[in-house]
Amino acid sequence: MKDYFLKLLNYDKYSNLQLTDLLFSANEPQNAVGLMAHIISAKQRWLLRCKELPPPSDALWPDWQAAQFKYLIEEGHQAWVAYVSSLTDDDFKRIINYQNMKGETMNDTLSDILAHLINHGTHHRAQIGQYLKLAGVEQLLVTDYIFYVRQQTQQ
């Protein structure tokens, strides 16, 4: 499972960086910038939950500038890779206890949280793509997972 989730995390980073580049070419539409900030912030929050650490002080929907994104994406990716690389197979079945944004106690397996983390990013990247089209970007980059896998295989 470790290799599978590391592969998904690499895909997630690749896709986030691709869309970050497009944000600059589209004059940073605020709704798209806000969604990318949320993706990055949520990943930070989930990592702290998985490590059973206190939640961050940052808002879940932070008012970050697009100029910060590449650094934050790389930094977050390195932290997630270090964490997942340290796990054993049994760790993926471990129950993580945390509080959701409403303060309710939740209990989910680490593997389910990791799957959610990747799906959450994919969901919001699709929304960002729509906002970029509305901002005049005619050709979006392909960020589908299967295209990423094929591209990696060819390298």
- pLDDT (tens digit per residue) in 112-130: 999 999 999 999 999 999 9
The pTM of this model reads 0.94
Residues 65, 62: Cα–Cα separation, whole Å: 9
Q: Tell me what pLDDT residue 7 has.
A: 97
pLDDT at position 139, please?
87
38 marked ligand binding residue: yes
Total domains in the chain come to 1
Instruction: Pick the more confident residue, 155 or 114.
Output: 114
d(CA 39, CA 30): 14
pLDDT in tens, 9-61: 999 999 999 999 899 887 878 999 999 999 999 999 999 999 999 988 888 89
Residues belonging to the chain: 155
Top-confidence residue, 61 or 155? 61
Is 124 among the annotated ligand-binding positions? yes
pLDDT, tens only, 69-78: 999 999 999 9
What is the domain-level CATH number for residue 132?
1.20.120.450
Does residue 116 have a known ligand-binding role? no
Q: Which domain holds residue 10?
A: 2-154
Question: Which 3-state string (H, E, C) describes the chain?
Answer: CHHHHHHHHHHHHHHHHHHHHHHHHCCCCHHHHHHHHHHHHHHHHHHHHHCCCCCCCCCCCCCCCHHHHHHHHHHHHHHHHHHHHCCCCHHHHCEEEEECCCCCEEEEEHHHHHHHHHHHHHHHHHHHHHHHHHCCCCCCCCCCHHHHHHHHHHC
